[in-house]
């Protein structure tokens, strides 16, 4: 009987020890209390707690968390009421402060975000509010991060998810945006027409310049062609004259070499005079020597006939 009691006690002890062995997973932290007082914060790994005396007061996630808060009514400096909802990214850096620093930390963050948002938006007008999201986000994040340090929370980012002005304001903004788009469209169309006309004018100008250059080059080429043709004609005439002069000189040389008589010279002179006298109104003055030679030549011809 004693044997079974011992076995039962051993089994109970093993079960109690097994139930008090805790394995803390990654990105988790266990806050341990002993007799209702904070004892320690267990990080990742194997841990054993004292039965009955110690307990896990809270399991805290060390991951970055995201909380999307409901839209909050805020009033701008120019008395426009808007609905703005925010998204807060935060991370628990001290599990002990998170557990004992504030009651319901998420509710505290939500209320602090709402009051901070109202204070910041209350200093801005509607137009500035719609165009200053980054500034508003930075201000809210800085205020929340400083306020949540005693709670063991670090606020990493704050984003304004939606900014919803009243319906009549939205209609007015849509009309304004439509008018602005139409104005930009008209400006772009006018600029396009202007550039088109400028390009057409430039094209016409360049075309005229090119046509004038082409006419000039054509005239130059034509003048060069005429000049070259005249040069070739002049060269041909000069060569022809030179050839005639050479032929005449050669004829004179041959006559001189043959030692012609006076009668032969007279006959050639008469032949030359005959060619010169081909014109209708040509007046020729014949020297006396040539006249005597002509008479002699006529007498010789008559004797030959007889």
Q: Which residue would you say has higher pLDDT here, 130 or 140? A: 140
Name which of 164-173, 253-262, 263-272 the model is least confident about: 263-272
Tell me how far apart the terminal alpha carbons of the chain are, to the nearest angstrom.
Answer: 202
E strands, 14-80, in order = 21-24, 28-34, 37-42, 45-48, 54-61, 64-68, 72-75
Would you place residue 305 in the very low, low, confident or very high pLDDT band (cuts 50, 70, 90)?
Answer: very low
Please give the pLDDT value at position 236. Answer: 80
With a CB cutoff of 8 Å and minimum separation 6, the contacts of 220 are: none
List alpha helices for 258-287, DSSP H: 262-276
DSSP letters spanning 99-154:
HHSSSSHHHHHHHHHHHHHHHHHTTS-HHHHHH-HHHHHHHHHHHHHHHHGGGTEE
Q: What does the mean pLDDT of the chain come to? A: 81
pTM of the model: 0.55
Read off the pLDDT of residues 216-253 as tens digits, 9 standing for 90 and up: 888 888 888 888 888 888 888 878 788 787 877 776 77
Work out the percent of the chain whose per-residue pLDDT is above 90. Answer: 22
Q: At the topology level of CATH, where does 64-165 sit?
A: Tetrahydropterin Synthase; Chain A (3.30.479)
> In CATH, what number does 2-61 get?
2.30.30
φ/ψ of residue 81, rounded to 5: -90, 130
Hey, what's the torsion of the CAs at 100, 102, 107, 110, to 10 degrees? Answer: -120
């Amino acid at each position: 009987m004693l044997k079974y009691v011992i076995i039962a006690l051993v089994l109970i002890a093993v079960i109690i020890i097994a139930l008090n062995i805790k394995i803390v997973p990654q990105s988790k932290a266990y806050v341990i209390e002993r007799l209702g007082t904070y004892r320690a914060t267990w990080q990742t790994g194997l841990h054993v707690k004292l039965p009955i005396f110690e307990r896990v007061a809270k399991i805290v996630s060390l991951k970055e968390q995201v909380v999307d808060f409901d839209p909050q009514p805020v009033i701008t400096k120019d008395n426009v009421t808007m609905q703005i909802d925010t998204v807060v990214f935060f991370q628990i850096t001290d599990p002990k402060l998170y557990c004992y620093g504030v009651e319901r930390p998420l509710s505290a963050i939500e209320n602090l975000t709402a009051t901070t948002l109202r204070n910041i938006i209350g200093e801005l007008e509607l137009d500035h509010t719609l165009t200053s999201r980054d500034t508003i986000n930075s201000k809210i994040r800085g205020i929340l991060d400083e306020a949540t340090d005693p709670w063991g929370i670090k606020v990493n980012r704050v984003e304004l998810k939606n900014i919803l002005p009243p319906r009549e304001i939205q209609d007015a903004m849509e009309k304004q945006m439509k008018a602005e788009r139409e104005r930009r469209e008209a400006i772009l169309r006018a600029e396009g027409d202007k550039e088109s006309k400028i390009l057409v004018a430039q094209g016409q100008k360049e075309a005229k310049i090119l046509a004038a250059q082409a006419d000039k080059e054509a005239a130059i080429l034509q003048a060069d062609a005429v000049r070259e043709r005249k040069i070739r004609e002049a060269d041909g005439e000069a060569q022809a004259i030179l050839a005639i002069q050479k032929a005449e000189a050669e004829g004179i040389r041959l006559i001189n070499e043959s030692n012609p008589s006076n009668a032969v010279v007279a006959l050639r002179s008469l032949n030359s005079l005959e060619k010169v006298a081909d014109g209708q109104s040509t007046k020729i003055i014949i020297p006396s020597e040539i006249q005597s030679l002509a008479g002699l030549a006529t007498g010789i011809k008559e004797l030959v006939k007889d």
